[in-house]
Amino acid sequence: MGDDKRLRDAAEKLALILAQGGMQKTTARVMTCLLFSQQETLTAADLCTELQISSGAVSGAVKQLAPSGLLERVPAPGSRRDHYRFPDGAWATLMSQQNQLLATMGEVADQGLAAAGDPSTPAGQRMAEMRDFYSFMLRELPPLIERWRTDFTAKQANQETHQAD
């Protein structure tokens, strides 16, 4: 990745954006480093030298990213080191996980509605709107993501076909 300054800049820029959105700064940097790297995979040592951070920091970032599907360990034949990669379809995975949040918001709204008692009270009305909104989103978003997955896979298959011609 050290091979192109523009890529590195873009990586750090995105890391900053993600950090402002709540992601840990180092975690974000590790993620964008993998995302913008011209190598297929990076090792922990690569990340240390590239980002100037300790191995402990890398370990921590990996522990956060892996369960979210934003980083995957790649079997590394012939190397004792772990190899990491930004997975295909990670963005879709990420957005799918937001659905969990949508569901939670809906549940909270339900509980609030029950607690408010009468839906015509101020709190009751707010809860009703909240519940309506989140159940709507929870119904509509997953199919949308699924559609992207399908479309994108098809698009890729097409490209490969044309390439082979």
Candidate list 2, 4, 17, 25; residue touching DNA; CB under 7 A: 25
Q: By CB under 8 A, which span of 47-55, 60-68, 69-77, 113-121 interacts with its own copies?
A: 113-121
121 binds DNA (CB under 7 A): no
Closest approach, Cβ 126 to its own copies, in A, equals: 6
User: Under rule CB under 7 A, how many of the chain's residues touch DNA?
Assistant: 23
One DSSP character per residue, 107-156 reads HHHHHHHHHH-STTSHHHHHHHHHHHHHHHHHHHHHHHHHHHHHHHHHHH
Candidate list 17, 39, 63, 98; residue touching DNA; CB under 7 A: 63
Phi–psi pair at 85, nearest 5 degrees: -150, 150
Cα–Cα distance measured from residue 165 to residue 163, given in angstroms and rounded to the nearest whole number: 5
Query: Which amino acid type is present at position 72?
Result: E
Binding site residues, DNA, CB under 7 A: 24-27, 43-45, 52-60, 62-63, 78-82
